[in-house]
Amino acid sequence: GDVTCLIASINDANATPGEHVITLEPGSYTLQAIDNGPLGVGNGLPVITGLITIQGSDDVPTVIVRDPNAPVFRIFRVAVGGELHLDGITVQRGGGSLGVPPGPAILNSGITSLHNSAVIDSRGESGAINNFGTLHVVMSIIANNFTGHQGGGISNAAEGNVIVENSTIRDNGSADGGGIRNEGSLIVN
């Protein structure tokens, strides 16, 4: 549950070329403050600019969660050229208020993949996962997310590419598109 160590590990991986794997101990990593960006649209963790895999335990849940009393912010932002692979990670309670921020769990402009992971209980705008890049969801759950508009679970922009395989998208809501709102390329297997 050492958030300071997680932030330092992401910063180190961003600063060093090549692939990096951050293995988290089981438990909850509770984010209580904005790491970067303005109030209301900031990020709880550093912007992903490198090639980073964050993996948890197979047996015990590993959760990255925004404290319910924290300011409104998204959990992850992946920049153009960045790659984030989540394996065995639950991303929970991003955002905190309907209408802001866009992509309260993950705002992706690079490449993001979820494997055996979950995105749950996020509140904001434009999908719990707001995708402008490439998103691959495998054996994962996207559930109980609510946004003001543009897809409760996933919002895929015109330039976005999404592949969903063997996954569950349920109980998400927004004014226009509960599970997935798609304007780009979408494949669901």
* Amino acid (1-letter code) at residue 28: S
- On the question of pLDDT at 61 being above 80, the answer is yes
Q: What is the mean pLDDT of residues 109-132?
A: 97
Does pLDDT of 97 surpass 90?
no
pLDDT > 90 fraction of the chain, expressed in percent and rounded: 88
57 band by pLDDT with thresholds 50, 70 and 90 = confident
Residue 83 to residue 72: CA distance in whole angstroms? 24
* pLDDT for 25: 93
- CB neighbours of 94 closer than 8 A, spacing ≥ 6? 44, 66, 73, 74, 75, 103, 104, 105, 106, 119, 122, 123, 124, 128
Indicate whether 14 pLDDT > 90. Answer: yes
Whether residue 98 has pLDDT greater than 90: no
Question: Mean pLDDT across the stretch 27-46?
Answer: 93
Average pLDDT over residues 145-151: 92
- Least Cα distance to 167 among 112, 107, 103, 119 occurs for 119
Dist CA 176 CA 4 (whole Å): 37
**More confidently predicted of 47 and 100:** 47
Q: Where are the alpha helices (DSSP H) in the chain?
A: 3-15
What proportion of the chain, given as a percentage, has pLDDT over 70?
100
